[in-house]
Amino acid sequence: MASNNFVPKWYEETAPQQSYRSLFKWGSLSSFKHPNHRLYALMRDTFDLSNAHFEKPGDLGLERVDLEITIQMEAGHVRYFVDLLGEENVKQDVYRRIRASYGKGMIDQLRLRKKIVENLPDLVLWPETTAQIVGIVSYCDENKIPMYVFGGGSTVTRGMEAVQGGVSLDLSQRFNQIIEINEINQTVTVQAGIWGPALEEALNSARQRLGKKENYSCGHFPQSFEFSSVGGWVVTRGAGQNSTYYGKIEDMVLAQEYVTPRGIFKSVPFPRKATGPDLDQLMIGSEGSFGILTEVTLKIFRYHPENRKYFSYMFRNWEDAMAACREVMQSEVGKPSVFRLSDAEETDVAMKLYGVEGTPADTLLQMLGFERNQKCLLLGTSDGSAAYTKMVNRQIRKICRKYKPFDLSLFNVAQRWEKDRFRDPYMREDMVDYGIVIDTLECGVTWEQMPEVHQYVRQFVKSHENTICMTHLSHAYEQGANLYFIFIRKMNAISEYLELQYGILEHIQTSGAAISHHHGVGKQTSPWLEENIGKFRFDLIRAVKNYLDPNQILNPGGTLGLDMSEAQKNKRWSKDLD
């Protein structure tokens, strides 16, 4: 076995401005997080690599993007947008066009590593007012110009990829204001382009900075929180890591405004009503294909981080752990906020990542017969009033104890997970620098399906030799949960990655799970949507699409499976990427 002191040559420089790396890397250009030594050793050994392999990174993508990709759009159209928005709000440079089209999926990174640039909008527009957006939509509809929307850019489903060119509306630039914090209704109304942190910071300090009576929280913290927009949360049906308590985004949205080619959809923030079908729920998850989301009114919650309580338990096996989780969710003892159960393989990795491996706690666990490849880690938090979180944590402890777990709460495992929770994605770049691909797919399951879906999909991933497959349950409900599959593998070609990714989607589909719980469908998962929801419901989506967007200008190119290319239909990439 290789030396324990070796440290790979991780890249630690700020990604150069205007470089490919600046486009594909996660988050801030100067930030990174390296796999710790234990995780590194695991990868090196699993993939049969030597330390030497980690001395010479592959293509780091440091080159400046200096492509010339001429725009296809008629000059008259460009003029229209310049007249409407001003020269400074109509961007034509290739770098910004890539940024508006490529997300943070592994396929985006792999393409950009190889300098494969495709599917760019002709223009990136920075509208500032709803009236301008109405103007853009009308003009595009009249002239059949494809429209895409950029919010935070963290899609992992090719959600905003401008497959048919046209314009991309970057709402994050000038369409990102808080319109109202309503303390009586406990709601916030925002423009769709606002990013998570800007909203959360304003809410957290509403008393001090905005003269409000209370401080608030939006309660929505997806993995991509720091680089995601409220609009993106809504149109994809996203979920935050604390959704078990706060709900998914569709549980938080009270009212919305969309500009569609057919007119303006606008609803009123009633908590509930019985005035026919719920059309807000029809628009949420429409992924930019029914209209341009402009305004959202969300529930907000009182901000009392001091009430947060943590817990973590190690179970002897997956079956016990799942049973305990189900019992927690069905016992009506209130709801935890983060609720995250790792399967055995992920638990072993988590022990490395959250600093448990090698500690006295680890030794104790081994002595008590908690076995590697068997034991499963549950970690979580409770949010709400002090009385509520105290009660919830106590009841969770009571339920878990029936399964004789090891109570790790004293070891601050959940706290350590939380502290770094938005930083883990930075490890992706380190890995891909050395040809190691990591990706995540997720699905919605009922409790009844969970064991089978887990086993079936995992089996497929593990049928690829030398592959790490970690799974966790998160976002739990009385009736089921989300299952996350993370695979890590040394790969030599994009086609190899796609084969594995498509295979997982195929297996999720065959397993009977919902093909996505919160990433959405985009243009990546779209080939599975019709099978997943059935032809009748698929056709119903299409009927609504045809009504709202008769000229098919909104997010065209396969979004929600609506206008897929032949390649997409056949579950293949459109061209050779290797």
Which of the residues 235 through 254 are near a copy of itself (CB under 8 A)?
236-239, 248, 250, 254
Binding-site member from 34, 262, 421, 572 for a copy of itself (CB under 8 A): 262
CB-count burial class (<10 Å; 0-12, 13-18, 19+) for 317: middle
Instruction: Using the minimum distance from each CB to a copy of itself, give the nearer residue, 29 or 282.
Output: 282
Instruction: Using the minimum distance from each CB to a copy of itself, give the nearer residue, 452 or 578.
Output: 452
d(CA 373, CA 316): 10
SS3 state at 478: coil
Instruction: Using the minimum distance from each CB to a copy of itself, give the nearer residue, 319 or 499.
Output: 319
- State residue 445 phi and psi, 5-degree precision: -135, 155
d(CA 42, CA 131): 55
Among positions 508-547, residues that touch a copy of itself (CB under 8 A) are 512-521, 529, 532-534, 536-537, 539-541, 543-544, 547
Cα angle: 161, vertex 156, 545; to 5 degrees: 55
Among positions 291-330, residues that touch a copy of itself (CB under 8 A) are 299, 301-302, 326, 330
Smallest separation, CB 224 to a copy of itself (Å):
14
Smallest separation, CB 432 to a copy of itself (Å):
26
Q: Which residues pair with 189 in a beta bridge?
A: 180, 297
Q: What is the 3-state secondary structure (H, E, C) of 96-149?
A: HHHHHHCCCCHHHHHHHHCCCCCCCCCEEECCCCHHHHHHHHHHHHHHCCCEEE
Q: What is the 3-state secondary structure (H, E, C) of 286-326?
A: CCCCCCEEEEEEEECEECCHHHCEEEEEEECCHHHHHHHHH
Smallest separation, CB 520 to a copy of itself (Å):
5
Tokens of 212: 């409000």
Among positions 203-232, residues that touch a copy of itself (CB under 8 A) are none
Binding-site member from 37, 394, 571, 572 for a copy of itself (CB under 8 A): 394
SS3 state at 229: strand
Smallest separation, CB 494 to a copy of itself (Å):
25
Among positions 475-494, residues that touch a copy of itself (CB under 8 A) are 475, 477-482
Smallest separation, CB 536 to a copy of itself (Å):
5
d(CA 367, CA 493): 43
Binding-site member from 22, 119, 172, 187 for a copy of itself (CB under 8 A): 187
Residues for the chain: how many in total?
578
Q: Which of 527, 520, 455, 513 is nearest to 481 (CA)?
A: 513
Smallest separation, CB 539 to a copy of itself (Å):
8
Instruction: Using the minimum distance from each CB to a copy of itself, give the nearer residue, 199 or 529.
Output: 529
Of 98-106, 162-170, 427-435, 442-450: span binding a copy of itself (CB under 8 A): 442-450
Of 44-52, 170-178, 204-212, 261-269: span binding a copy of itself (CB under 8 A): 261-269
Smallest separation, CB 19 to a copy of itself (Å):
32
Q: Which of 284, 263, 266, 298 is nearest to 560 (CA)?
A: 284
179 binds a copy of itself (CB under 8 A): no
Tokens of 305: 């981080």
The 263-282 site mask, x for binding a copy of itself (CB under 8 A), equals: xxxxxxxxxxxxxxxxx-xx
Instruction: Using the minimum distance from each CB to a copy of itself, give the nearer residue, 90 or 481.
Output: 481
